[in-house]
A = this chain, B = another copy of it.
Amino acid sequence: MAICHHHQPSFTIPSSFPFTTNLSNKSQLHLPSSFRCNLSVTTNLEPEPVYTAVKSFAPATVANLGPGFDFLGCAVDGIGDYVTLKIDPQVHPGEVSITEITGTGNSANKLSKNPIWNCAGIAAISVMKMLNIRSVGLSLSLEKGLPLGSGLGSSAASAAAAAIAVNEIFGGKLPALDLVLAGLESEAKVSGYHADNIAPAIMGGFVLVRSYDPLELIPLQFPVDKNLYFVLVNPEFEAPTKKMRAALPKEITMSHHVWNSSQAGALVAAVLQGDLKGFGKALSSDKIVEPRRAPLIPGMDAVKKAALEAGAYGCTISGAGPTAVAVTDNEEKGREIGEKMVEAFMAEGNLKAVAMVKQLDRVGARLVSSISR
């Protein structure tokens, strides 16, 4: 079930290509010994664009999910970033230019338009390199639907939307795993070498990051006949990823390790078995990370308590926060839970907050429109 990739983006071939095509010199590949599955090697053939313009969307993501700290994440539907990408003769061939950044809040002003300092730009350049694009220049505009530093995978959504846009404008040659690698380059510069946002942003659903070298991702399918709603409550509070990471313990006791590992196993089982009650319990059960981070987010403990009292199956911090995430199987119930959580943020943390109720996104980054050549 796992999909694997050695972290060697320069050795990439579209999986849709016949395996023997255009390998000018196989003996030069020097495959590393740990290279085991989904062999994927770049050709020198430059693909032609199939569209003159595309618009893509990539969803917000909830990483960590309590005991899934640093290796588990999932995508949430209906909120995320958009990228519009155009073949642009004004742009130097092989390069990408960011023409516009728009969006809610102040996220648009905070982001650089220099592509090598912008999440979407870095991912776009990485995919262009993988595809060996030398003859076509691209212009990119980014529409932020996600606030920065919210714990909802804002940077990953931009990177995912850009990666899929570049891939699709040239015919969708690269498999998802290569797009995750491109997104990882972006994440590494912006928030650390972690795939738990970028992988679900690209692939949708729940994704477990089993290893980085080689990159190996395990999609976990939540049963299609069951509903899963996330109540996302985002307070007006900045919780910088760095500070949240500094709060983590360096050493963990064996009993806490065993506890959290067993909850991680239970979390994975609950996703695959569609057991929402078990999912919520496991989500709420982290004894290692949440107890260190929650005190840094004013009101978080009360917010979690309010969510559970209002009938949520579980609640924890989304990503590195400050957004709180609760789960339920009913949209209306989700709105009630959200109201209680917003009240608790105000009452106990003196923070304004907004609640959203969103379903699991099972698709991941995708094109929303395109103009054929």
Residue in B closest to A248 when the chains form the complex, CB atoms = B254
Query: Which of B2, B69, B249, B270 has a CB less than 8 Å from the CB of A275?
Result: B2
Q: Are B253 and A250 touching (Cβ within 8 A)?
A: yes
Pick out which of these stretches binds chain B: A106-114, A165-173, A259-267, A323-331.
Answer: A259-267
Query: Which of B249, B254, B277, B282 has a CB less than 8 Å from the CB of A250?
Result: B254
A177-197 interface (Cβ within 8 A of B): none
Q: Are B262 and A252 touching (Cβ within 8 A)?
A: no
| Mask: chain A, 279-311; 1 = CB below 8 Å from B; 0 = not | 001100000100000000000000000000000
CB distance from A247 to the nearest CB of B (A): 12
**A252→B255 CA distance, assembly (Å):** 10
**A109→B257 CA distance, assembly (Å):** 38
Q: Are A262 and B1 also in contact (CB < 8 A) when A251-B251, A252-B251, A272-B269 are?
A: no
A136 at the interface (CB under 8 A from B): no
A47-91 interface (Cβ within 8 A of B): 67-72
Query: Which of B218, B251, B263 has a CB less than 8 Å from the CB of A269?
Result: B218
A353 at the interface (CB under 8 A from B): no
Q: Are A266 and B210 touching (Cβ within 8 A)?
A: yes
| Mask: chain A, 233-258; 1 = CB below 8 Å from B; 0 = not | 00000000000000011111110011
**A177→B248 CA distance, assembly (Å):** 37
Residue in B closest to A211 when the chains form the complex, CB atoms = B262
Q: Are A261 and B220 touching (Cβ within 8 A)?
A: no
Question: Which residues from chain B contact A268 at a C-beta distance below 8 Å?
Answer: 265-266, 268-269, 272
**A270→B281 CA distance, assembly (Å):** 21
Residue in B closest to A274 when the chains form the complex, CB atoms = B1
Q: Are A272 and B272 also in contact (CB < 8 A) when A208-B262, A252-B252, A257-B257 are?
A: yes
Question: Which residues from chain B contact A273 at a C-beta distance below 8 Å?
Answer: 1, 272
Question: Which residues from chain B contact A266 at a C-beta distance below 8 Å?
Answer: 2, 208, 210, 218, 268
A209 at the interface (CB under 8 A from B): yes
CB distance from A252 to the nearest CB of B (A): 5
**A211→B277 CA distance, assembly (Å):** 15
Question: Which residues from chain B contact A364 at a C-beta distance below 8 Å?
Answer: none
Q: Are B261 and A71 touching (Cβ within 8 A)?
A: yes
Q: Are B275 and A1 touching (Cβ within 8 A)?
A: yes
10 nearest interchain CB pairs?
A71-B262, A251-B251, A265-B268, A1-B275, A261-B264, A268-B268, A1-B273, A70-B258, A272-B272, A210-B266
Given contacts A68-B261, A265-B265, 13 further A-B contacts (CB under 8 A): A2-B278, A2-B281, A67-B261, A69-B261, A71-B262, A72-B265, A210-B262, A210-B263, A211-B262, A257-B257, A257-B261, A260-B261, A268-B269
Please list 12 pairs of residues, one from A and one from B, whose beta carbons are closer than 8 Å in the complex, sorted by A's number.
A1-B270, A2-B278, A2-B281, A71-B262, A71-B265, A72-B265, A211-B262, A250-B254, A251-B251, A257-B257, A265-B265, A266-B268
Q: Which residues of A contact B (CB under 8 A)?
A: 1-2, 67-72, 208-211, 218, 220, 248-254, 257-258, 260-270, 272-273, 275, 277-278, 281-282, 288
